[in-house]
Amino acid sequence: MAPIVTPEQANEWFIGKARTLQGIRENIVHSTERATSRAALGRMYFFRYDPKYKEVLPIYDRFPLVLPIERYKGGFLGLNIHYLDYPQNKGFRKKLLDQLKEHATNLKYDETTRIKMSYTTLKSMTLMKLAKPTIHRYLLNHVRSRFIEIHMDEWDKVAVLKVQDFVTKKKKN
């Protein structure tokens, strides 16, 4: 089991990676390291997203951190861990990521590792109730940047970062 990462350690790691990636959130479009035009199943990515139905969604994340688990025509189904908001999540992000690691293709937990997962497998997990708010469908023609891969050995660090970019629909009086 990986050691617990403090927000300070995660921020220090993120600052280093952000420099390497030319500013992961602000300059993601221009990033070249780990950038790809296609998200592979079982790997985790940051990307910019502009939802098709944003006018009717009560909340959405413009900078998701997603683990794609199934492909669909024109998109994919993925787990956006930002929907388990930190620090209010009481460790739920880490619990979910730890359980997902049980489905890893190898024990290296590096760039060679991916998660072998489907929606059917996810439904059988003991933390399905926890994972449910993270499940979202993403349309490829609404992705607004390249995908930046986060290797599994970095998951604990990104889990505590507050880089999500939620937009909430204002309630009418």
pTM for the whole structure: 0.80
Contacts of 97 (CB under 8 A, 6+ apart): 81, 155, 156, 159
Residue 31 and residue 36: Cα distance in Å, rounded?
10
Cβ count near 153 (within 10 Å): 13
Q: What is the mean pLDDT of residues 159-168?
A: 85
By the 10 Å C-beta count (0-12 exposed, 13-18 middle, 19+ buried), 92 is classed as buried
pLDDT band at 125 (very low <50, low <70, confident <90, very high): confident
**pLDDT averaged over the chain?**
84
Q: What is the pLDDT of residues 37-79, one digit of tens each?
A: 999 999 999 999 999 999 999 999 999 999 999 999 999 999 9
